[in-house]
Amino acid sequence: MTPLLLGSDIYRGSSYGTWHPLRVPRVSTVLDLTRAMGWLPASQFRTSPRAKPAALSVWHTPAYLAALQHAEVSGAVDEDARARHGLGTVSNPVFPEMFRRPATGAGASLLAGELLRDGGRIHNPGGGTHHGMPDRANGFCYLNDAVLGILSLKRAGAVRVAYVDIDAHHMDGVEYAFADDPDTLLISTHEEKRWPFTGLIGDAGVGQTFNLPLPRGLNDSEMALARDRLMLPAVEHFAPDAIVLQCGADAVDEDPLSRLALSNNAHWDLLAALMQLASRFLLLGGGGYNPWSVGRLWSGNWAVLSGQDIPDRLPPEAEAVLRDLRFDGNSRGRNPPEHWFTTLRDAPHIGPVRTEVSDRVTYLAGRIVDMPGLSV
């Protein structure tokens, strides 16, 4: 199957609020930028469907889904909905598309599982909402499309699914769903001592969960070590039928909500290697709160997934997309560096590999051979 990108115009102009980190354009930038590059012909684009409550209820509770829909329609939540379901909070506020927008991201991941039945590669940049819980919103995530996508892949015949998450924040919702499932490999690299403060290195599920907390300042060399000694060997040993990669853009140096220091090369190098390891591959978005770093990284993701060459200098049409972005309310938006407009690829962030990183990678790599085998 030709690689597909699933997207929607619901993201265009939708915002969690003028003060919220998700006030910035993300998916709309990817669509505009990839089209400006000539990388997204109509034949490789599908409009994401909006998932209905019946489809979402394979993991989310009917009571929560009803409360989420009611909050969107009424534009408000009562104290019971706030306390029980985490709606109307600072992290998960009431906003006009608070059901329809996440239901669109979830619909894309559900559809992707079906479309990948016979193999292929799909990019859902509106996905990656890995914090959502069955009965409550959590960490900017109202639904958990990653969980729903994995379940969809399994219904379509993928017995063993490898889920790899390189967001700056731990995959708490996905681990909650699959920590006890020996046929779902879970790998998370995330900044240590950062919300949600889960994902300790000793949290191993039933032996198939690998949590790698990483120190602030993480560089490309350290990520390459984790990739080559832990992530790729674990996935190869697991031999999955399908791979899901959550590719949050908040682990790059310019993001305001983490203190990791990767370049986007680290994400693209991992993507290029991982997508060779299974016939079914689903690529998700995730965190990322600097509009330039998100748009550049996820557009480059599509280039890697669909076999496009990333030029050293963007053509004028693509440059115009990036020059039109704004980052109001953040110092990074006052005087953006020129390369945020003219290139997709960051300069590599090469550096020393700290002992604390190599020791943690070595410890987790030693567990690979003890992973549970195929369930029968």
| φ, ψ dihedrals at 296, nearest 5° | -70, -45
CB neighbour list of residue 35: distance below 8 Å, 6 or more residues apart: none
Q: Residue 118 and residue 31: Cα distance in Å, rounded?
A: 26
Q: Residue 237 and residue 142: Cα distance in Å, rounded?
A: 33
Q: Residue 72 and residue 334: Cα distance in Å, rounded?
A: 33
> Taking the chain (376 residues) in consecutive chunks of 10 residues, what is each chunk's mean pLDDT?
97 95 98 98 98 98 98 97 97 98 98 98 98 98 99 98 98 98 98 98 98 98 98 98 98 97 98 98 98 98 98 98 94 93 98 98 97 68
3-state secondary structure of 298: helix
CB neighbour list of residue 187: distance below 8 Å, 6 or more residues apart: 162, 163, 164, 165, 209, 210, 212, 230, 231, 234, 235
Q: What is the DSSP letter of 333?
A: G
CA proximity to 46, closest of 24, 61, 31:
31
Q: What is the pTM of this model?
A: 0.98
Q: For position 372, what pLDDT does the model report? A: 86
Q: For position 374, what pLDDT does the model report? A: 58
- The CATH class, in words, for 4-369 is alpha beta
Residues 189/165, Cβ–Cβ less than 8 Å: yes
Q: For position 366, what pLDDT does the model report? A: 98
Q: Residue 134 and residue 85: Cα distance in Å, rounded?
A: 9
Q: For position 376, what pLDDT does the model report? A: 44
The angle subtended at Cα 69 by Cα 106 and Cα 131, nearest 5°, is 45
Question: Any idea where the domains of the chain sit in the sequence?
Answer: 4-369
CB neighbour list of residue 249: distance below 8 Å, 6 or more residues apart: 255, 264, 267, 285, 286, 287, 288, 290, 293, 294, 297, 298
Q: Residue 33 and residue 48: Cα distance in Å, rounded?
A: 18
CB neighbour list of residue 81: distance below 8 Å, 6 or more residues apart: 67, 70, 71, 87, 88
Residues 214/260, Cβ–Cβ less than 8 Å: yes
Q: For position 375, what pLDDT does the model report? A: 52
| φ, ψ dihedrals at 233, nearest 5° | -60, -40
Which residues are known to be catalytic?
Answer: 131
Q: What does the CA dihedral 320, 255, 145, 18 come to, rounded to 10 degrees?
A: -70
Q: Residue 336 and residue 170: Cα distance in Å, rounded?
A: 29
Residues 360/212, Cβ–Cβ less than 8 Å: yes
